[in-house]
Structure 1
Amino acid sequence: MKFTAKRVAVSGAVAGVAVVAVGATVIATAADPVSPEVVSAVPADAGHGDEGKYTTGDYVLNVHELDDDGDGITTAIGPHTMYYSKTLHGSGNRKATVVKFSAGPDSDASIVFSYPVPAPGRVVDCTASGTETAPQVRCETKPAR
């Protein structure tokens, strides 16, 4: 293949656009640390109305249900446990807007995943996997039963 100035310029332009697109995605992700809502048509588990559901993997998972001011409730859930939160949509005059997760026995550990609290009538179902040093949390929003 013969390289010409035109081919080199076009290749460089295409590479430049790709770098800018990747950079914009990284910047947008860093600017908005709350993961986008993933919606499922499958209803929540029967008997758990407006409760959030959290399932842990091989490590302690800290669930932080927080309001706009960063105040709220933190619950440490042991390994291989399923926990239903009755406070997902608030308790008293405090209404949670985001659920944040950290891994390990230290409740002040770095946040590894954040997810928006769904509107009333919908619940969040989150599952942790991976390891304590490389945790993975996936959440989806489901209609309440």
Structure 2
Amino acid sequence: MKFTAKRIVVSGAVAGVAVVAAGATVIATAADPVSPEVVSAVPAEAGHENEGKYTTGDYVLDVHELDDDGEGLTTAIGPHTSYYSKTLHGTGNRQHTVVKFSAGVDGPVFFTYPVPAPGRVVDCVASGTEAAPQVRCETRLPAG
């Protein structure tokens, strides 16, 4: 292969773009971004105000309700189960600000969602597999 100035410049530019793209991926992953809140027009189920509802798929789902310091509660929910959390908005003087999800016992966090304002609930449904988990959350207004 004959090296020309044009080939060297093009090869260098392609390599530079690859390095920048890889760096952006690492930064985005390390930042652990919180997914945007999705507000649903469907009201919460009556009798479950201020609660979180988590429905699991084919795997154990760890739900971490945490405050700004990363402190809070973790609940492991078995496959094909719906769980209502009465601690969504925190306990005592600890106010939870985020819900993080991991698949399997002690798996890495794969999805993060903001805790809605008091009086609102969050309804999250897990799908996929433990190897490729997915969660979809919606903030719902109080019933009635």
Q: TM-score, with normalisation over the residues of structure 2?
A: 0.78
Matched, 1:63 2:60: no
Distance between the aligned counterparts of 2:111 and 2:64, measured in 1? Answer: 10
Distance between the aligned counterparts of 2:26 and 2:38, measured in 1? Answer: 21
Of 125, 138, 141 in structure 1, the residue corresponding to residue 139 of structure 2 is 141
- Structure 2 residue identity aligned to 1:117: V
Distance between the aligned counterparts of 1:27 and 1:131, measured in 2? Answer: 24
Q: 1:112 to 1:32 in 2, by over 3 A?
A: closer
Q: TM-score, with normalisation over the residues of structure 1?
A: 0.78
Deviations 1:94-127 (A, max 9, x none): 11000000011x2x31001000000112111000
Matched, 1:86 2:102: no
Number of aligned residue pairs: 126
- Structure 2 residue identity aligned to 1:65: E
* Structure-to-structure mapping, 1:18-97, within 5 angstroms: 29-30=28-29, 31=31, 33-97=33-97
Residue aligned with 2:37, SS: coil
Give the C-alpha shift of residue 27 in structure 1.
7.9
Q: 1:27 to 1:39 in 2, by over 3 A?
A: farther
Distance between the aligned counterparts of 2:107 and 2:142, measured in 1? Answer: 31
Residue aligned with 2:91, SS: coil
Please list every run of 5 or more consecutive structure 2 residues that lacks an aligned counterpart in the other structure. 1-16
Give the C-alpha shift of residue 93 in structure 1.
1.2
Distance between the aligned counterparts of 2:38 and 2:27, measured in 1? Answer: 18
Please list every run of 5 or more consecutive structure 1 residues that lacks an aligned counterpart in the other structure. 1-18
RMSD: 2.3
Sequence identity percentage: 76
Distance between the aligned counterparts of 2:132 and 2:101, measured in 1? Answer: 13
- Structure 2 residue identity aligned to 1:78: G
Distance between the aligned counterparts of 2:103 and 2:25, measured in 1? Answer: 23
The aligned residue for residue 5 of structure 2 is: none
Q: 1:38 to 1:29 in 2, by over 3 A?
A: farther
The aligned residue for residue 6 of structure 2 is: none
